[in-house]
Structure 1
Amino acid sequence: MHKESHAFREGRPPVNVSVNVMLEGWGDDEAPGLGPMGNPLRAGVLDLQARSWAAYGPEKGAWRLLDLLASRNIKASFYTSGIVAERYPGLMREIAQAGHDVCGHSWTQNTLPAYLDHEAELADIQRCTEVIRSATGTSPVGWISPRCTPSAATSELLAQSGYRWHADIFDTDLPYSMRFGDHTIVALPFSMEINDLPMSVRYGNEPSAFVASVKHTLWNWHRIGSPEVCLDVTVHAHVYGRPAGAIALIETLDFIASCPDIASYTSHAELAHLEASRRR
Structure 2
Amino acid sequence: MPEEIACKTEHLKNDFRWPKDRRLAVIFNVAYEMWTPGNFSTVNPMGNVLSGDIVDPNADSYGRYNANRGCRRLFDIAERHGVVTSIFTSGLVAENHADHLKYLADFGHEIIGHSYGQNLLFPYLNEQEKEDNISISTKTIEHATGQRPQGWISPRITSDLDVQRRLSRHGYSWHGDALDDDLPYLQRFSDSEIMAIPVTIDFNDLPHAMRFGRTPEQFVQMFMSTLERLLDSNRETLILDVIVHGHCYGRPAGAWAFEEIVKRCSQEKELWLTTRGKIFNYARPFFGA
Counterpart secondary structure, 1:264 = strand
Shift, 1:143, TM fit: 0.7
Shift, 1:224, TM fit: 6.0
- Structure 1: 5+ residue stretches without partners: none
**Does the CA contact (< 8 Å) of 1:256 and 1:264 recur in 2?**
no
Query: Quick check: 49-58 or 122-131, which moved more?
Result: 49-58
Letter in 2 for 1:137: G
Are residues 1:53 and 2:62 paired?
yes
Query: Quick check: 198-207 or 7-16, which moved more?
Result: 7-16
Give 1:70's aligned residue.
79
Query: How far apart, CA to CA, are the structure 2 residues paired with 1:222 and 1:59?
Result: 37
Query: How far apart, CA to CA, are the structure 1 residues paired with 2:83 and 2:178?
Result: 24
Q: 2:284 aligns with which of 267, 276, 280?
A: 276
Shift, 1:259, TM fit: 3.5
Letter in 2 for 1:266: T
Shift, 1:48, TM fit: 1.1
Give 2:189's aligned residue.
180
| Pairing 1:9-158 to 2, within 5 Å after superposition | 9=17, 10-158=19-167
**Does the CA contact (< 8 Å) of 1:211 and 1:252 recur in 2?**
yes
Q: 1:265 aligns with which of 262, 268, 273?
A: 273
Length, aligned pairs only: 279
Give 2:10's aligned residue.
4
| Pairing 1:164-243 to 2, within 5 Å after superposition | 164-221=173-230, 226-243=235-252
Letter in 2 for 1:143: W
Please give the per-residue CA displacement for 1:1-50, whole angstroms capped at 9, x wherever unaligned. Answer: 11111133143321110111111111111111122210221111111111
Give TM-score scaled by structure 2 length: 0.92
Query: How far apart, CA to CA, are the structure 1 residues paired with 2:28 and 2:36?
Result: 26
Query: How far apart, CA to CA, are the structure 1 residues paired with 2:222 and 2:159?
Result: 28
Letter in 1 for 2:204: N
Query: How far apart, CA to CA, are the structure 2 residues paired with 1:152 and 1:182?
Result: 13
**Does the CA contact (< 8 Å) of 1:4 and 1:178 recur in 2?**
yes
**Does the CA contact (< 8 Å) of 1:102 and 1:140 recur in 2?**
yes
Give 2:3's aligned residue.
none
Please give the per-residue CA displacement for 1:31-77, whole angstroms capped at 9, x wherever unaligned. Answer: 11122210221111111111111111111112212211111111111
Identity of aligned residues (%): 35
Counterpart secondary structure, 2:88 = strand
Shift, 1:111, TM fit: 0.7
Shift, 1:219, TM fit: 1.8
Please give the per-residue CA displacement for 1:228-259, whole angstroms capped at 9, x wherever unaligned. Answer: 11110111122111112211011111222344
Query: How far apart, CA to CA, are the structure 2 residues paired with 1:83 and 1:129?
Result: 11
Please provide the CA RMSD for this pair. Answer: 1.6
Question: Residues 85 and 163 from structure 1, CA distance in 2 versus in 1: closer, same or farther, beyond 3 angstroms?
Answer: same
Shift, 1:223, TM fit: 7.0
Shift, 1:114, TM fit: 1.4
Shift, 1:121, TM fit: 0.5
Query: Quick check: 146-155 or 97-106, which moved more?
Result: 146-155
Query: How far apart, CA to CA, are the structure 2 residues paired with 1:66 and 1:94?
Result: 11
Query: How far apart, CA to CA, are the structure 2 residues paired with 1:248 and 1:36?
Result: 19
Letter in 2 for 1:207: P
Letter in 1 for 2:80: S
Question: Residues 240 and 222 from structure 1, CA distance in 2 versus in 1: closer, same or farther, beyond 3 angstroms?
Answer: closer
